[in-house]
Structure 1
Amino acid sequence: MDYNRYGYGYCDGDDSLSAKFEGLYLGDSPYRPQTAATKTYAKKKTQKYVSYGKEEAKYKYHDGYQEDDSDESQIAEAVFNPETYSKDEGITSMVAIDCEMVGVNYTESGLARISIVNYDGHVLMDTYVKPEGKITNYRSWVSGVYPSDLKYAMGFKKARAQAIAILKGRDIIGHSLHNDFKALQWRPKKYNIKDISLIKEFRHPGTNQPRSLKKLTLEFLGKKIQSGSHDSVDDARAALGCYRVHQSQQSTRKKKYHYY
């Protein structure tokens, strides 16, 4: 997929983003938004058959998504190479986000790039953003953002509106999401936040301090990221992969102890 990184961005759909994303996307992947019919799952022990187009699959619903029994080693390959593992490029009720920031007004940070991927790792939005305020430090060695990237970048207000149209009302996966929401100047409902830095199994034992996304990705996905500067698409996929591995482990643990 070709992303336009020079200001016009990539976003699945036409100009009326809010209208389109209010609808539910039905595709080949099992990780789909819940329709009115599937919301009858209320009791945790209930198993439902949910129809997605011409295919049917059996899934247990526990407060939203339940990761299937896929080999955990395949999750990393799936999220980092979605074109190989899934043809579904549409919006899903769970998405992952990562933002890159640059220094503005000497003491502040401003949004310079935003990437959002769906539950299968397909890019929904990836664009450079011209931050509000005077850029005083590009932080290129970390952000991966250079002056040439922002020459024709999308304005902050437009990028923010497009991002919120995708994110609003959906579960949002990421690492240290408070930084991304601060850069976006927006915050979703608390129950929509799926921050992997807050997951107990992903924190330092003993100190309970959050671990870096780089270390989590290497340990749980066997992938190296952030070898040089950051890439927000890779970081969003990394957070997504870690979250899905955790969900898979939780599912396995529940089955082992027959807890549903």
Structure 2
Amino acid sequence: MSGIMLNLDFNGSSHDRRQMKPAGNAKHKRFVKRRRHLERRGLLNKKQNTDNFHKEGHRNNQWHKQNKREDNSKAGAVFPKFSSAQCELSMTSSHSVQANHGNCVAETDKEGVPSCSTFCRESTSALQRVVPSLGNPQKYIAIDCEMVGTGPKGHCSELARCSIVTYDGNVIYDKFIKPVNLVTDYRTRWSGIRKCDLYKATPFKQAQREILKILSGKVVVGHGVQNDFKVLHYSHPECLTRDTSRMPLLNQKAGLSEDRTASLKILTKLLFNKDIQVGKKGHSSVEDAKATMELYKLVELEWERTVASKSGH
């Protein structure tokens, strides 16, 4: 019995060892490689328990936790919102807004953005501030001025008569006005002014105060009205000015080219078959002011729509 020898191998067969060891080593290498990668990125503490990392797997590692915390912090943030109503209003013209005014209901949306009805009312009120005369004939007047020449050879134009009429053609102002400087050319053939008309005429400064008081806050209609403002040494708001010499629609109705600056006499003849500024006695500023108002009223609706669309921007 003493000659019997036992050869026991407690580590298993070499065949099993060759099968298990490579698999374990490959898995361990992947783990170490992944851990080092996370350590280089600063997402894993080197002293962290690697057993927990191995059990949780790659989907629940520290890197995923860090990203999850960042996502949660972003999800809780509050960012400004743009409502569709706000975008639509910013792209809608003032004319379209006014056309759809009856369809507006809500005052504000949930984010506090002004609703369509609020926007419409604000646009309308702004337009009324700019053009307070809309729908109010009492706010419309027509003006016409006659000038004489002063200075060398009468080259300088100064005011000698001013007439203002209402929307209905009633005369509310008509005075001869004495120029500041000596008149050297009365221009009677066109102005109708004679020397005797200026003997007791109203001094320019006084007439200027009276006229500007009437023009204040009114829509002023005139034909080449800037010339009238010039001799008054005055500038009227553009939004309250209607110059019939610069209204293409009048030319269209008269059958003239749109870019042509037609005289008051021609437009009145073509559109109303009425003769004005006839004879050698010169023009009548009252007659011209009334004719100008009639021209304006002929295209009033279309003209005011154009003004409203421009004022709404």
TM-score for the superposition, normalised by structure 1:
0.61
Asked whether the equivalents of residues 248 and 258 of structure 2 are also in contact (C-alpha less than 8 Å), the reply is: no
**Matches of 2:206 and 2:143 in 1, distance apart?**
17
Partner of residue 235 from structure 1, selected from 288, 298, 313: 288
For the structure 1 residues 145 and 45, does the alpha-carbon distance in structure 2 shift closer, same or farther, using more than 3 Å as the test?
farther
Q: How far off is 1:45 after superposition?
A: 6.7
Are 2:150 and 1:101 aligned? no
Q: Please identify the structure whose Cα radius of gyration is greater.
A: 2
Partner of residue 236 from structure 2, selected from 188, 195, 212: 188
Asked whether the equivalents of residues 249 and 258 of structure 2 are also in contact (C-alpha less than 8 Å), the reply is: no
**Matches of 2:204 and 2:244 in 1, distance apart?**
26
Match of 1:164 in 2: 212
Secondary structure at 1:210 match in 2: coil
* Deviations, residues 18-40 of structure 1 (Å, cap 9, x unaligned): xxxxxxxxxxxxxxxxxxxxxxx
Match of 2:138 in 1: 92
Match of 1:128 in 2: 176
Gaps of 5+ in 2: 1-96, 103-126, 305-313
TM-score for the superposition, normalised by structure 2:
0.51
- What residue identity is the alignment partner of 1:182? K
* Deviations, residues 102-159 of structure 1 (Å, cap 9, x unaligned): 0011320000000000111111100000011110000011100000100000000000
Are 2:193 and 1:140 aligned? no
Q: How far off is 1:180 after superposition?
A: 0.3
Secondary structure at 1:113 match in 2: strand
**Matches of 1:207 and 1:199 in 2, distance apart?**
8
Q: How far off is 1:227 after superposition?
A: 0.3
* Deviations, residues 58-92 of structure 1 (Å, cap 9, x unaligned): xxx9965469xxxxxxxxxxxxxxxxxxxxxxx92
Match of 1:223 in 2: 274
Asked whether the equivalents of residues 114 and 125 of structure 1 are also in contact (C-alpha less than 8 Å), the reply is: yes
CA-based RMSD of the aligned residues comes to 2.6
- What residue identity is the alignment partner of 2:238? K
Q: How far off is 1:201 after superposition?
A: 2.0
Asked whether the equivalents of residues 220 and 245 of structure 1 are also in contact (C-alpha less than 8 Å), the reply is: no
Partner of residue 111 from structure 1, selected from 159, 162, 168: 159
Larger helix proportion of the pair: 2
Asked whether the equivalents of residues 221 and 241 of structure 1 are also in contact (C-alpha less than 8 Å), the reply is: no
Match of 2:48 in 1: none
Larger strand proportion of the pair: 1
For the structure 1 residues 246 and 164, does the alpha-carbon distance in structure 2 shift closer, same or farther, using more than 3 Å as the test?
same
**Matches of 2:271 and 2:100 in 1, distance apart?**
29
**Matches of 1:250 and 1:168 in 2, distance apart?**
21
Match of 1:52 in 2: none
Looking at both structures, which has the greater relative contact order when contacts are Cα pairs under 8 Å and sequence separation is at least 6? 1
- What residue identity is the alignment partner of 1:165? K
Q: How far off is 1:207 after superposition?
A: 6.5
- What residue identity is the alignment partner of 2:247? I
**Matches of 1:66 and 1:220 in 2, distance apart?**
24
* Deviations, residues 216-248 of structure 1 (Å, cap 9, x unaligned): 111222211000210000000000001101126
- What residue identity is the alignment partner of 2:141? V
Q: Percent identity?
A: 35
Secondary structure at 1:92 match in 2: helix
For the structure 1 residues 45 and 146, does the alpha-carbon distance in structure 2 shift closer, same or farther, using more than 3 Å as the test?
farther
**Matches of 2:303 and 2:251 in 1, distance apart?**
16
Q: How many residues align?
A: 174
**Matches of 2:267 and 2:238 in 1, distance apart?**
23
Secondary structure at 2:147 match in 1: strand
Match of 1:154 in 2: 202
**Matches of 1:146 and 1:128 in 2, distance apart?**
10
Q: How far off is 1:209 after superposition?
A: 1.9
Instruction: Give matches, 1:69-84, under 5 Å.
Output: none
Asked whether the equivalents of residues 66 and 247 of structure 1 are also in contact (C-alpha less than 8 Å), the reply is: no
- What residue identity is the alignment partner of 1:221? F
- What residue identity is the alignment partner of 1:247? E
- What residue identity is the alignment partner of 1:224? D
Match of 1:208 in 2: 259
Match of 1:33 in 2: none
Are 2:246 and 1:246 aligned? no
